């Protein structure tokens, strides 16, 4: 027989019955094994990949139910069938109801019925195996997908950051233009003065001073842009000065004239705040995201006030970032940390900010809480262990 679709094990202590079964299944498309009792059956189960066990009940040594209990415990996938002249229907019904038995066949058996039942049992076994394989592949696929989503999220975060710098580009160029003009202007004047045989050294000194100050301003602008665009690599652990990080974040946002001139700032950084151990790039990302959200929320507010406060509470560093923006409705509060929740138009928001903020804070065993009132404003409180 080619193309055997399954393996069936018959167990019966009567030689006569085993012989009849051998004859009956000779031409069936399945592999067959025959055992004259429980122990012999267990040996075969140990050596072969059996799909269906069909057993007699009353046998010397080990009875059928004991055998099936062992099969269930050791080979739970195998389909179990009882074939017996036993008329203890209650016990058998019970076994079927408890999911311990697939079928019960009455002896003397009907040949056609036995063949069909066996065939169905083999099919069920194969189906279950297919299902298991499918589930396994699905799980592998899911894991792969999760990995990809994580990778993509990180890419998106990097894109979001670059886009933000793009948004500020014209403002940045404008900001760089003033110091640059001052430097060139001073150079021109110095060149003119040098043509004089006896240049006024005091004046020269003054223009050198102007050049120096403006070059420093330019350097500061460039540093804050580079600082903002830095991508987090693998996490590092270093002493992080949170106050300094906040000051640097504000320096970047100052490049925007609305932030600079239209938003009132109420900044109170507690002196001598202890350093925390962490990755300064990640901590800066947390601050950037929260400040950026506060600025966005105040776009249409009459009163625009950003509050940032640092301090200590029970040995932890506490950072409070508040705004007088549009606020968040009570029913949306639990959604804001989800990576697909944004109320901003495409190009302005991705919804990823708070999700990554929360993930980073969790990684430091910290906490983030939010309090908000629609139309009034929002307060985020971040708690980070030192
Ligand atoms: N300070 C805030 N005030 C009001 N709403 C906020 C504030 N911070 C976050 N939100 C809400 O949470 C949403 C998700 O924020 P976030 O995860 O940073 O994504 P995004 O800023 O890209 O929309 C925002 O779209 C906004 O609706
Ligand atoms: Mg955001």
**pLDDT digits 0-9 by tens, 154-209:** 777 777 777 777 766 666 776 777 788 888 888 888 888 888 888 888 988 988 99
Say yes or no: CB of residue 175 within 6 Å of ligand 1.
no
Residue 196 lies in a domain: no
Higher pLDDT, 229 or 299: 299
Which pair of structure tokens corresponds to residue 344?
């901003």
What gap in Å lies between CA 174 and CA 147, rounded to an integer? 41
- In order of 10, 38, 195, 366, the CA distances from 31 in angstroms are 11, 19, 108, 61
Residue 309 has pLDDT above 90, yes or no: yes
Residue 141 lies in a domain: no
Say yes or no: CB of residue 325 within 6 Å of ligand 1.
yes
Which pair of structure tokens corresponds to residue 281?
């790039």
Among candidate residues 44, 77, 109, the one where a domain is terminated:
109
Among candidate residues 109, 131, 157, the one where a domain is terminated:
109
Q: Return the ligand 1 atom nearest residue 342 CA.
A: 25
What gap in Å lies between CA 384 and CA 341, rounded to an integer? 25
Say yes or no: CB of residue 307 within 6 Å of ligand 1.
no
Say yes or no: CB of residue 81 within 6 Å of ligand 1.
no
The pLDDT value given to residue 217: 82
CB 83 within 8 A of CB 121: no
Give the dihedral sign, CA 66/69/74/75: positive
Please count the other Cβ atoms lying within 10 Å of the Cβ belonging to residue 137: 10
What gap in Å lies between CA 281 and CA 228, rounded to an integer? 9
Domain with residue 336: its CATH number is 3.30.565.10
What gap in Å lies between CA 67 and CA 78, rounded to an integer? 12
Say yes or no: CB of residue 56 within 6 Å of ligand 1.
no
Residue 247 lies in a domain: yes
CA-wise closest residue to 95 among 85, 108, 84, 81: 81
**Lowest mean per-residue pLDDT among 42-51, 146-155, 191-200, 283-292:** 146-155
131-167 confidence digits (pLDDT tens): 999 999 999 998 888 888 888 877 777 777 777 777 6
Residue 54 lies in a domain: yes
Helix (H, G, I), strand (E, B) or coil at 250: helix
CB 260 within 8 A of CB 221: no
Domain with residue 13: its CATH number is 3.40.50.2300
Domain that holds residue 251: 235-385
**What's the pLDDT band for 2 if we cut at 50, 70, 90?**
very low
Among candidate residues 75, 94, 109, the one where a domain is terminated:
109
Residue 157 lies in a domain: no
Provide φ and ψ at 351, rounded to 5°.
Answer: 85, -5
The pLDDT value given to residue 335: 93
**What's the pLDDT band for 226 if we cut at 50, 70, 90?**
confident
Residue 316 lies in a domain: yes
Nearest CA to ligand 1 atom 25: 342
Q: Total domain count for the chain?
A: 2
Q: Return the ligand 1 atom nearest residue 350 CA.
A: 22
Which pair of structure tokens corresponds to residue 187?
């150079």
- In order of 9, 41, 65, 102, the CA distances from 37 in angstroms are 11, 6, 12, 20
Residue 123 lies in a domain: no
CB 122 within 8 A of CB 116: no
């Amino acid at each position: 027989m080619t193309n055997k679709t399954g393996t069936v094990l018959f167990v019966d202590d009567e030689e006569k019955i085993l012989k009849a079964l051998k004859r009956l299944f000779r031409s069936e498309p399945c592999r067959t094994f025959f055992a004259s009792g429980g122990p012999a059956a267990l040996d075969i189960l140990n050596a072969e990949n059996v799909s269906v066990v069909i057993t007699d009940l009353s046998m010397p040594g080990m009875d059928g139910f004991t055998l099936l209990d062992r099969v269930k415990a050791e080979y739970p996938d195998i389909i179990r069938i009882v074939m017996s002249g036993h008329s203890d229907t209650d016990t058998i019904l019970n076994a079927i109801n408890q999911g311990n038995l697939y079928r019960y066949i009455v002896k003397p058996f009907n040949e056609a019925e036995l063949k069909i039942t066996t065939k169905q049992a083999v099919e069920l076994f194969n189906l279950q195996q297919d299902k298991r394989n499918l589930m396994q592949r699905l799980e592998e696929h899911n894991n792969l997908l999760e990995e990809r989503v994580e990778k993509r999220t990180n890419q998106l975060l990097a894109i979001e950051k670059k886009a933000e710098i793009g948004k500020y580009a014209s403002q940045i160029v404008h900001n760089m233009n003033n110091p640059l003009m001052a430097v060139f202007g001073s150079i021109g004047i110095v060149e003119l003065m040098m043509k004089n045989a006896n240049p006024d050294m005091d004046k020269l000194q003054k223009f050198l001073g102007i050049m120096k100050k403006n070059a420093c301003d330019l350097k500061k602008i460039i540093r804050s842009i580079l600082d903002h665009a830095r991508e987090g690599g693998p996490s590092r652990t270093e002493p992080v000065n949170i106050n300094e990080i906040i000051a640097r974040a504000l320096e970047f946002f100052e490049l925007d004239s609305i932030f600079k001139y239209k938003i009132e700032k109420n900044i109170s950084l507690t002196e001598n705040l202890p350093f925390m151990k962490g990755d300064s790039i990640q901590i800066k990302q947390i601050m950037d995201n929260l400040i950026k959200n506060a600025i966005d929320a105040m776009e249409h507010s009459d009163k625009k006030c950003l509050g940032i406060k640092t301090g200590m509470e029970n040995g932890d560093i506490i950072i409070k970032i508040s705004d007088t923006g549009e606020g968040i409705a009570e029913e949306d509060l639990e959604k804001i940390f989800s990576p697909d929740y944004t109320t901003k138009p495409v190009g302005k928001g991705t919804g990823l900010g708070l999700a990554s903020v929360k993930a980073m804070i969790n990684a430091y065993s910290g906490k983030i809480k939010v309090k908000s009132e629609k139309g009034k404003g929002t307060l985020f409180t971040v708690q980070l262990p030192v």
